[in-house]
Structure 1
Amino acid sequence: MRNRVIKLNPSQLLLIMFISFITLGTILLKIPAASTEPISWLDALFTATSAMTVTGLVVVDTGTAYTLFGELVIVGLIQVGGLGIMSFAVLIYIMLGKKIGMKERLLIQQSLNQTSLGGVINLVRYLFIFSFTIEFIAMILLSIRWIPEFGWSKGIYFSFFHSISAFNNAGFGLLPDSLMQYVGDPIINIVISFLFIIGGIGFTVLVDLKHKKRFKKLSLHTKLMLVGSFVVNIIAMLFIFFVEYSNPKTLGGLDWAGKLWGSFFQAVVPRTAGFNSLDIASLNEPTILFIIILMFIGAGSASTGGGIKLTTFLVIIFSVINYIKAKDEIVISNRSISQTSILKALAIATTSIVFILLCLIILTITEQKPFLMILFEVVSAFGTVGLSMGITGTLTSIGKCIIILVMFFGKLGPLTLAYTLAKPDKAKIKYPKEDVLTG
């Protein structure tokens, strides 16, 4: 019999590589040298998946349960997961002086969620230079704040860990209360929020801003990301400020400056960052529901964040508005959005909602927790956010497995679907059209 060669497409190869890194991370976290106390294989798998998908949900406290070696494994997975497996592969290829072929370029295109192969290598080069530079500068700035508090070695290490975690939108922290004790600290708020906002806006946007100095010359995607992010963040900040203003467990006990910093930080965090300066479980229900919406929307395409992506959400909103106005096409900034992009956005959102609902049904059966807490946990895992109302560590084994699956899908699912839909097979036979009654 002739040997059959199994050919994998870029999407399948990326999936296998992702699973391989999670498996390696699980093994490394399970060895005794990685933890201060014995942890189960499931908890090691949960942590490795959370780090690789840059989520930030934890079943054990990162700062106390893991040794320095374990924490370095986690931060390594965060960096690889945030910047992309293929991005690091390209870096190795460049360092070794090897030629990058078409297959590798397709993998990079899939990994960075690009619509074309043009310029992907240059994008990766810029990605690394920019990312490492920003992380280093942020580490220096955080060290100014943390060295006086923790000493030289611990202060620099804390700054190193949190700068990588924040830029990659991971949300892993070494303090048991995340950043709640720094709710009114300007340096911590500004540096950390700057890191995950820049990391979550998308590398395509950053490259576009680098080459085009005027707003009018920017691509439509960049314009939507910049204006959309600004508007969403302002609305979120005002909402949290007014709803939580008198809540004694969140903003109520803070001075005016503390209320503003707390509102700002908690408003931009749900765009997949995962840190928190306010007690999430103590937020009012309207705030919780609003944060769930923000987590579902997520960050930008080709970024370190998750969710269905802000541009996906905006395309759907504009589609609805256009339908109500009885317009044939969406026109924004003198550019029309293709029907393919609209269908892709609807497919990503619908698939994500169906997946979340299925997992939610299972968790309401297996977990004896309030519905709102379970919903928050599932959407947080899907958006690779990492915020929690405090139930992650008490999940059952089935519950942990479901959340692992949700984190994995949240990182790769919509991305893979978008790649699949980008190159549809055109039917050779066309059939008569007929309207279906809807609404």
Structure 2
Amino acid sequence: MRNWLPAYGYGSYTRFRRTGLLRASPPIVLAAGFVVLILIGTLLLALPVSGTRPIGLMAAFFMATSAVTVTGLAVIDPAVSLSPFGQIVLISLVQLGGLGFVTFAVIAAITLGKKLSLGQQALALEAFNQTSVSRIRRTAISVLRISLTVEALAALVLALWWWRDYPFLTAVYRATFHAIGAFNNAGFSLFPGSIAQFVGDPVTILVLSTCIILGGIGFSVLSDVGQKKRWAPLLTYTKVILAGTIILNLGGFAAIWALEYRNPDTLGELPVHAQALAAWMQSVTSRTAGYVSIDVSELRDSSTLVTMLLMFIGGGSLSTASGIKVGTFIILVAAVYSYLFHRKEVVLFKRSVSPDTVQKALALLLVTAALVFAGTLILTVLEDAPLVDIAFEVVSAVSTTGMSRGLTPQLSTPSQLLVIVLMFVGRLGPLTLAYSLATQKRSRVRYPETEFQVG
């Protein structure tokens, strides 16, 4: 983003002097909007009325950032330390952060078509399942309609189900809170131990996991499926994301169940049906949601690595999830497969993928991996904690998963500030990088090729 500041800053300033309008690149506008939302949320959460006890400005800042970036990492327990007013502020920040980001990302991505060549316009519109840049308004409305419908249905089912154990208004309140949190892939909970008390409850687990999947799969995919309703005419991107989501969720479910079924601290003491539900929830929630029905700190190292991989990959593009994204991961796997089997093209569902797309996927992978490495390195200097806990916390922050092995509340102020930066960059980074790659100018200078050894 720094590379754009001189050009956009001076151009925006002169344009503002001339027209009275301030125009900046979409990533700069988005980042500024998120900063303002975080600061407003911080002030609201710091109010005495927001807490059952004073929570402090730093804790309010951390919680506001975690909510706006739909992460779910917490330095206080929202169920205990926040009043109903504070809880409503928190979940409102989640809603605004989740849907605001996606809506803006859709609009920014489609708007790119106005600044690109005709060929690039076609690619951009195809990638986001649009036929005209004039459909921006309709797309934004569609995003909101899908989101609110899914959240309302989930809240209704959960409220009726939880009404058995709680007063009706309490059931409705908690159901609405968790439906919004699950769909926006933010792991805040109003129950002790997240949703551990529902580990064997099929209705709660399946409703929440469905919300997480729908929120994390991407609105372009949901729109494409809703319009075409059959597999054959679906866009290649939609097919890839659907197939990838199924494989990752089922693969993670099988791996976690197989690795943990003898662990007495996680699945070992549960009946078989509860083991299956807990392993399924752990796999799905690792895709940047953060809700947990078992103690993550007691996972075996092998299961922890599986969880970190799922967090790192994340969900679909233009979704409430983060990570490098499923599409990026599949593109890279397909590129490796093509190289190993001496194929000149990267092919997915009988469609070739452009070299530019492969390069973008590689750039996203390396930038995110570098961010994780840098964050882990700095935290190992600042904190005296096991490396696996630190690495887990960093991956969770960068991928905005919000899952923790109990380290977050124990972090020092400098470490909390670092995690805040990681959450913010992890949420905004993919759009920023995508915009940079999409709007970069190609150099007309060509150099002779050289032989270079790799591997």
TM-score normalised by L of structure 1: 0.92
Counterpart of 2:252? 236
For the pair 1:383 / 2:399, whether they are aligned, the reply is yes
Counterpart of 2:372? 356
For the pair 1:407 / 2:419, whether they are aligned, the reply is no
CA displacement, residues 160-203 of structure 1 (integer Å, 9 cap, x when unaligned):
10010001001111112001111000110111001011000000
Check conservation: 1:80, 1:88, Cα contact below 8 A: no
For the pair 1:33 / 2:49, whether they are aligned, the reply is yes
Structure 1 residue runs of 5 or longer lacking an equivalent are 92-100
Q: CA RMSD in A?
A: 2.4
For the pair 1:42 / 2:58, whether they are aligned, the reply is yes
In structure 2, how many angstroms separate the alpha carbons of the residues matched to 1:434 and 1:89? 39
In structure 2, how many angstroms separate the alpha carbons of the residues matched to 1:5 and 1:67? 46
Deviates more, 1:5-14 or 1:227-236: 5-14
Check conservation: 2:105, 2:431, Cα contact below 8 A: no
Counterpart of 1:306? 322
Q: CA deviation at 1:435?
A: 2.9
Counterpart of 2:163? 147
Structure 1 residues 401 and 182, CA gap change in structure 2 (3 angstroms): same
Structure 1 residues 79 and 378, CA gap change in structure 2 (3 angstroms): same
SS in 1 for 2:165: helix
Counterpart of 1:137? 153
For the pair 1:201 / 2:217, whether they are aligned, the reply is yes
In structure 1, how many angstroms separate the alpha carbons of the residues matched to 2:113 and 2:180? 26
Structure 1 residues 76 and 222, CA gap change in structure 2 (3 angstroms): same
Counterpart of 1:97? none
Q: CA deviation at 1:148?
A: 2.1
Check conservation: 2:105, 2:318, Cα contact below 8 A: no
In structure 2, how many angstroms separate the alpha carbons of the residues matched to 1:395 and 1:312? 32
Counterpart of 1:162? 178
CA displacement, residues 199-255 of structure 1 (integer Å, 9 cap, x when unaligned):
000000001001112211111111011111111111111111111111111111111
Structure 1 residues 10 and 357, CA gap change in structure 2 (3 angstroms): same
Structure 1 residues 115 and 17, CA gap change in structure 2 (3 angstroms): farther
In structure 1, how many angstroms separate the alpha carbons of the residues matched to 2:129 and 2:25? 16
Q: CA deviation at 1:315?
A: 0.5
Name the amino acid aligned to 1:195: C
Counterpart of 2:19? none
TM-score normalised by L of structure 2: 0.89
Q: CA deviation at 1:83?
A: 0.8
SS in 2 for 1:406: helix
In structure 1, how many angstroms separate the alpha carbons of the residues matched to 2:327 and 2:231? 18
For the pair 1:212 / 2:228, whether they are aligned, the reply is yes
Q: CA deviation at 1:88?
A: 8.2
Name the amino acid aligned to 1:154: T
Counterpart of 1:94? none
Name the amino acid aligned to 1:343: Q
SS in 2 for 1:388: coil
In structure 2, how many angstroms separate the alpha carbons of the residues matched to 1:187 and 1:210? 25
Deviates more, 1:4-13 or 1:279-288: 4-13
For the pair 1:12 / 2:28, whether they are aligned, the reply is yes
In structure 2, how many angstroms separate the alpha carbons of the residues matched to 1:69 and 1:141? 24
Check conservation: 2:102, 2:320, Cα contact below 8 A: no
SS in 2 for 1:369: coil
